[in-house]
Amino acid sequence: MQTVNEKKLKAFLEAHPIPEQLTTDKRKRMYMDDRSIINFKLTSEESNGSLSITEFYLMKGNEPPRHIHEFVDETFMIHDGIVNYYVGDKIITAGTGDVVFVPKMEPHHFKLVSDSAIVSTIFAPGYYDHYFWYFSRPMDQENIQLTNMTPEELIKWNKESAVFGTVFVDVVKKSK
């Protein structure tokens, strides 16, 4: 039996599909006002919903706030750079070749130690690629911009993320 949140998510995914046939050039997109570049390596549609793999080109200073995923596990594979992952009460420093797993419902965030990093993320189940597709746009430049979000923008992002079962922990605390 599906929860109310799972029903909302299913309706959202049906209303905002990722195209089934993605050419190589259509897989690369700009995320959240140029905060990072995303390459959709394997979409949930291509894996029958089991998983999705996205590759992120990240820049120090554009990391997301601490958050929780209600429905999805994440596995991070670092291809280049050094990243500190804050998972629950643990701090995990990961570099090229390292893998970090974050189970659903575990509060987490990350901070780049190096100026930039290339990280692949495996989402299971795979639907979470829709989140990044929804918050991104077609690739129109090769540069990542350092972008500081206002408190109002963070609150809006948090509200829009809720349908995916994602809650930004610190944003919720500050908005109460």
Residuewise pLDDT in 10s, the chain (176 residues): 567 777 888 888 888 888 888 888 899 988 876 778 899 999 999 999 999 999 999 989 888 889 999 999 999 999 999 999 999 999 999 999 999 999 999 999 999 999 999 999 999 999 999 999 998 888 876 666 666 777 787 788 888 888 888 988 876 554 44
Short-list 14, 149, 124, CA closest to 69: 124
| pLDDT value of residue 121 | 97
- CA angle at 119 for the pair 114 and 123, rounded to the nearest 5°: 145
| pLDDT value of residue 20 | 82
* Full strand arrangement of the beta sheet holding 166-168: 90-94, 83-87, 108-112, 67-69, 166-168
| pLDDT value of residue 116 | 93
| pLDDT value of residue 100 | 98
DSSP per-residue codes, 57-74: EEETT-PPPSEEESS-EE
pTM, 2 dp = 0.88
| pLDDT value of residue 172 | 53
> Domains of the chain by range and CATH?
4-169 (2.60.120.10)
| pLDDT value of residue 176 | 47
As to burial, measured by CB atoms within 10 angstroms (0-12 exposed, 13-18 middle, 19+ buried), residue 70 is middle
- CA angle at 143 for the pair 17 and 72, rounded to the nearest 5°: 40
